[in-house]
Amino acid sequence: MGVAWLIHGMLLEQMSRDFVHERLHQEAEFLERQIRQTYPDFDAALLADSYFDEVSHHTFALRIGDRVAFSHPSRQDEFQPWLQNTRTSFLTIEEGQVGASFLAFRKAFEMAGEPIVIIVAEDYSLLANSQQELHLWTAVVSAALLLFLVLLILLAVHTALSPVKQLQRELGDLRAGARDRLSLDVPGEFEGLISELNRLLDTLDTRLERSRQGMANLSHSIKTPIAALVKILADRNTPVEGSLRDQMVSRLAGLDSQLEAEMHRSSFAGPQAGKTAAPEAQVREIVWMLGRLYENKQFHLETDLDQPRWPVEEHDFGELIGNVVDNAGKWAKSDVLVRLTQNQNDLVIEVEDDGPGVEPSARAALGSRGLRLDEQTEGHGLGLAIVRDIVESYNGHLLFSESRLGGLLVRISLPKA
């Protein structure tokens, strides 16, 4: 606004001067035509006639040869020196006594060898005062407009930030336990943010619930065996040998398997913002490692991927693919095929082998929650409970069917989003 006001003052000054110069030029041309039409009979004394003052409100000075005439004789001292110059130009004449400032146009020409000089001047101080007053009012209006715009901007910012203040209040209520989720009654620009925060809260609740459920299952599963073992060991009259020793070893091995399984489950990260896995590189590494472990079996990898990274936590993906491929390698006769593909909505992992497979009636029990690892269906059941937990944590799907190779096909679909 300040720069606009300064530019306005300069433009106003320039326009005023251009306007005055044009008027002075036209009147000098008019006076020149009068002189040319009546020369040499033109009476210079007519300049002092009231006619010119009433019509033009300008000051005139004329020199024809040695004759000099002024429309306002009181200004003769200021204009006299300017009549001696015979060059046509615009002038600025300062009148020191009254502080007036004149803009003038000097027209010089000759007739019959006699030099003629015409000066037409206008008191610019009156116009300059009006111009300054207009410029001052422009400053007042500009300042008022600037103040109004500042207030309007503050109101707009306050209105725009009100959802942020609402979100701040709701976060405080959430921390205090007064609410469990953030409200979606917000402008469209904030819906994505609120949805992601609520999704994060859902993920945290899911992890907490899974952790509590795992601890409860583990506690329930090992409480009775530990109590039985303690009772046997506490009875000094009962010899620990033969079948009893075998039962104790079996129970302890079962406890060890359960503890290991729960430790695996507790290490799952689940969906996390910014966490991705490079599926092709990880699968190649796992296939190469299992190929060294099962030297008499062939592992094949097929990929058809548009994106090099998947929105799956790297450790989770390693656990997922490692368990499935290891099961396939353990029970395959000679070939294991791993296929990575993706469609419009899902990322798909398919692992199939040429092993004995699993009966259709028994496939539903594969990976069922709560089963001890050593009690799961023989063959492909080992580790699939962990796989099912990971898939469920990502809202994916786990499907068991018959492989084209004759064994079991494990198909895992994980959503892209």
Give the confidence band of 417 by pLDDT, cuts at 50, 70, 90: low
Give the confidence band of 370 by pLDDT, cuts at 50, 70, 90: very low
For 383-411, what is each residue's pLDDT tens digit? Answer: 777 788 888 888 888 888 888 888 889 99
pLDDT of residue 144: 92
Which of 61-65, 190-194, 221-225 is the most confident on average?
Answer: 61-65
387 vs 366 pLDDT, higher one: 387
For 83-107, what is each residue's pLDDT tens digit? Answer: 888 888 888 877 655 556 788 899 9
Which is nearest to 23 in space by CA: 127, 105, 132? 105
- Range 258-268 burial, b when 16+ CB lie within 10 A, else e: beebbebbeeb
Which of 68-72, 381-385, 411-415 is the most confident on average?
Answer: 411-415
pLDDT of residue 154: 95
Whole-prediction pTM value?
A: 0.46
pLDDT of residue 147: 93
- The phi, psi pair for 74, rounded to 5°, reads -65, -20
Q: How far apart are CA 187 and CA 245, in angstroms?
A: 69
pLDDT of residue 350: 92
Give the confidence band of 153 by pLDDT, cuts at 50, 70, 90: very high
Residue 373 has pLDDT above 60, yes or no: no
3-state secondary structure string, the chain?
CHHHHHHHHHHHHHHHHHHHHHHHHHHHHHHHHHHHHHCCCCCHHHHHCHHHHHHHCCEEEEEECCEEEECCHHHHHHHHHHHCCCCCEEEEEEECCCCEEEEEEEEEEEECCEEEEEEEEEEHHHHHHHHHHHHHHHHHHHHHHHHHHHHHHHHHHHHHHHHHHHHHHHHHHHHHCCCCCCCCCCCHHHHHHHHHHHHHHHHHHHHHHHHHHHHHHHHHHHHHHHHHHHHHHHCCCCCCCCHHHHHHHHHHHHHHHHHHHHHHHHCCCCCCCCCCECHHHHHHHHHHHHHHHCCCCEEEEEEECCCCCECCCHHHHHHHHHHHHHHHHHHCCCEEEEEEEECCCEEEEEEEECCCCCCHHHHCCCCCCCCCHHHCCCCCCCCHHHHHHHHHHCCCEEEEEECCCCCEEEEEEEECC
User: What is the arithmetic mean of pLDDT over 128-155?
Assistant: 90
- The phi, psi pair for 107, rounded to 5°, reads -115, 125
pLDDT of residue 378: 43
Residue 74 has pLDDT above 60, yes or no: yes
Residue 151 has pLDDT above 90, yes or no: yes
Which is nearest to 175 in space by CA: 154, 143, 197? 197
For 240-282, what is each residue's pLDDT tens digit? Answer: 677 777 777 777 776 776 676 666 665 555 565 556 778 888 8
User: What is the arithmetic mean of pLDDT over 149-155?
Assistant: 95
220 vs 16 pLDDT, higher one: 16
Residue 54 has pLDDT above 60, yes or no: no
pLDDT of residue 221: 66
- Range 182-201 burial, b when 16+ CB lie within 10 A, else e: beeebeeebeeebeebeeee
Residue 55 has pLDDT above 60, yes or no: no
Name the average pLDDT for the chain: 79
Which is nearest to 297 in space by CA: 414, 407, 192, 133? 407
78 vs 350 pLDDT, higher one: 350
For 268-321, what is each residue's pLDDT tens digit? Answer: 555 655 567 788 888 888 888 888 888 888 999 988 887 778 888 888 888 888
Give the confidence band of 358 by pLDDT, cuts at 50, 70, 90: confident
